[in-house]
Amino acid sequence: MSAVRVLEEISASKADWLDTIIKGDCVAALNRLPEHSVDVVFADPPYNLQLNGDLARPDQSKVDACDDHWDQFESFAAYDAFTRAWLLAARRVLKPTGSIWVIGSYHNIFRVGAAMQDLGFWILNDIVWRKTNPMPNFKGRRFQNAHETMIWASRDANAKKYTFNYEAMKAANDDVQMRSDWLFPICTGSERLKDAAGDKVHPTQKPEALLARIMMASTKPGDIVLDPFFGSGTTGAVAKNSAGILSASIAKTTTLPPPAPASPPSSR
- Given a cut of 50, is residue 260 above it in pLDDT? no
What percent of the chain is predicted at pLDDT more than 90? 51
Q: pTM, whole model, 2 decimals?
A: 0.82
Per-residue pLDDT tens over the stretch 3-38: 787 777 777 666 678 888 888 888 998 998 999 999
Residue 146 banded pLDDT, cuts 50, 70, 90: very high
Taking the C-alpha atoms of residue 182 and residue 256, their distance in angstroms, rounded to an integer, is 30
Q: What is the mean pLDDT of residues 236-260?
A: 57
Residue 56 banded pLDDT, cuts 50, 70, 90: low
- Given a cut of 80, is residue 127 above it in pLDDT? yes
- How is residue 172 annotated by DSSP? T
pLDDT at residue 52, as a whole number: 63
- 28-59: b (≥16 Cβ within 10 Å) or e: bbbebbeeebbbbbbbbbbbbbeeeeebeeee
Taking the C-alpha atoms of residue 83 and residue 43, their distance in angstroms, rounded to an integer, is 11
Residue 201 vs residues 222, 247, 257, 259: alpha-carbon distances, Å: 30, 27, 18, 19
pLDDT at residue 244, as a whole number: 38
pLDDT at residue 157, as a whole number: 97
Taking alpha carbons only, the member of 142, 144, 137, 146 closest to residue 55 is 137
Taking the C-alpha atoms of residue 237 and residue 21, their distance in angstroms, rounded to an integer, is 12
**Chain-centre distance for alpha carbon 202:** 13
Per-residue pLDDT tens over the stretch 71-115: 578 888 999 999 999 999 999 999 999 999 999 999 999 999 999
